[in-house]
């Protein structure tokens, strides 16, 4: 936008899920930047990967990894890795709901200080078709709570609607909260 102040906001986000046999892979990448009068005021990046092994359908083992950076807020990096167990509540073409619970660790470098903490992780993924295959409601969230170490809780949630334009292109209207 241009006017009394000039600002430039951009958000690039991509997510993919691939399932082959008993193996499910979910990846997400997000880059969020903002400039105000030529000065960078936001530079956030997030990459996450989730692996599920279906050992006794609907139950699965889960492994999760995440890397987050936000140098404007002095977060040089936050690396989180966890493993646990999950369950598919629904898993069919019209609806999908799964939950998983696990434990792991987080390493955060904020400013010049690095802390490692033991964490518990909760993840939920939900999708529901509203009008056939064209429009769906989705909600994904994760909560990572520190068990031992730095007192911290990280909550990330995305809720919205997805409209299918083509088989590989979607229009998303979503509310992200971090």
Nearest CA among 84, 83, 86 for reference residue 100: 86
Whole-angstrom distance, CA of residue 23 vs CA of residue 59: 12
In this structure, what DSSP letter does residue 140 have? E
Phi, psi of 2 (to 5 degrees): -125, 150
Whole-angstrom distance, CA of residue 109 vs CA of residue 92: 41
Phi, psi of 146 (to 5 degrees): -70, 130
pLDDT at position 26 is: 96
Residue 123 CB burial class (10 angstroms; 0-12, 13-18, ≥19):
buried
pLDDT per residue rounded down to tens, the chain (178 residues): 777 778 899 989 888 999 999 999 999 999 999 998 888 999 999 999 999 999 999 999 999 999 999 999 899 999 999 999 999 999 998 999 999 999 999 999 998 999 999 999 999 999 999 987 789 999 999 999 999 988 889 999 999 999 999 988 888 899 989 8
Cis geometry, peptide bond prior to residue 124 (ω within 30 degrees of 0): no
pLDDT at position 74 is: 93
Single pTM value for the model: 0.88
Q: How far is CA 104 from the centre of its chain?
A: 17
Please give the structure tokens belonging to residue 156: 């990330």
CA-CA distances (angstroms) from residue 150 to 33, 88, 107, 143?
Answer: 28, 32, 10, 15
């Amino acid at each position: 936008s241009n006017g009394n102040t000039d600002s430039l906001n951009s958000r690039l986000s991509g997510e993919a899920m691939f399932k082959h046999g008993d193996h499910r892979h979910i990846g997400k990448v997000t880059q969020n930047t903002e400039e105000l009068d030529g000065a960078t005021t936001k530079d956030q990046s997030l990459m996450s990967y989730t692996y599920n092994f279906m050992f006794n359908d609907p139950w699965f083992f889960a492994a999760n990894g995440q890397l987050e950076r936000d140098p404007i807020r002095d977060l040089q990096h936050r690396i989180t890795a966890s493993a646990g167990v999950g369950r598919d509540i629904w898993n069919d073409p019209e609806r999908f709901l799964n939950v998983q619970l696990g434990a792991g660790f987080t390493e955060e470098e904020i400013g010049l200080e690095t802390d490692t903490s033991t964490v518990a992780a909760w993840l939920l993924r939900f999708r529901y078709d509203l009008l056939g295959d064209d429009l769906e409601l989705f909600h994904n969230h994760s909560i990572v709570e520190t068990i031992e170490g730095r007192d911290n809780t990280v909550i990330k949630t995305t809720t919205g609607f997805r409209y299918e334009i083509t088989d590989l292109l979607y229009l998303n209207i979503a509310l992200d909260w971090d």
